[in-house]
Amino acid sequence: MSQLGQHLVRRPHDRSHPRRSDNPHGEIWLVYFDEVRIGTIGERAGVPVHADQWAWSVGFYPDMDPGRQRSGIHSSFDAAREAFEAAWSALLPNLSENAFAEWRRDRDWRAEVAQKRARGEKLASEIIRSTLMRCPCGTTFDSWKPDESYPHRAHIYAAQTEGKVRW
């Protein structure tokens, strides 16, 4: 049996293993290498019955250069699985552990963002510390209040032109 074929019967000692998707509209296998999702094998949707029904794709983001991912279409699951395995076998030796580490960092960051959003928190980049500015004339004003900020535009632009202020 092929290497991926062993994974499909879920032998516990293998690092690469598929998981059946929860999609009720078609059979889709999500293929993982350790915990990194490396690709899919699944039934195609919306194609004529005389067309090849199975598609596969291998590759992951981030840290895999665009164009290195591979994909194909086949008439049977077994043919798609064999093509997937061949593509993964060719791709894996060229991947460093850093590629997998970058994927894990991205996964962890996205999970952290989702948790913050679920708690109703803002990201650090969304928090505006202060809208107060100091004009070159010495006045402090709220930059979000037009009636306070407009009178100071001329002072700020003049100071920028003279190179006294930078953004």
What tens digit of pLDDT does each residue of 123-136 get? 888 887 788 999 99
Greatest mean pLDDT among 13-17, 46-50, 65-69 lies in 46-50
Please determine, for residue 6, whether its predicted confidence score (pLDDT) is greater than 80.
Answer: no
Q: Which residue has the tokens 């700020």?
A: 156
- The arithmetic mean of pLDDT across residues 60-87, rounded, is 90
Looking at the structure of the chain, the number of domains it has is 2
35 and 77 share one domain: yes
Residue 106 lies in a domain: no
- The arithmetic mean of pLDDT across residues 141-147, rounded, is 91
- Phi/psi at 45 (nearest 5 deg)? -105, 140
Please determine, for residue 9, whether its predicted confidence score (pLDDT) is greater than 50.
Answer: no
Residue 155 lies in a domain: yes
Q: Identify any residues that bridge with 142 across adjacent strands, giving them in sequence order.
A: 132
Q: Residue 144 CA to chain centroid, in angstroms?
A: 34
Please determine, for residue 162, whether its predicted confidence score (pLDDT) is greater than 70.
Answer: yes
Q: Whole-angstrom Cα distance, residue 28 to residue 155?
A: 63
Domain boundary among 80, 96, 112: 96
Let me know: does 165 contact 159? Beta carbons within 8 Å: yes
Residue 39 lies in a domain: yes
Residue 89 lies in a domain: yes
Domain boundary among 96, 116, 146: 96
pLDDT value, residue 2: 47
Closest CA to 70 of 102, 94, 35: 94
What tens digit of pLDDT does each residue of 26-43 get? 788 889 888 888 999 999
Assign 20 a pLDDT band (cuts: 50, 70, 90).
low
pLDDT value, residue 130: 85
Cβ partners under 8 Å of residue 43, min gap 6: 26, 27, 28, 53, 54, 55
Q: Whole-angstrom Cα distance, residue 118 to residue 23?
A: 24
Cβ partners under 8 Å of residue 9, min gap 6: 1
Domain region containing 57: 3-96
Q: Whole-angstrom Cα distance, residue 104 to residue 98?
A: 10
91 and 143 share one domain: no
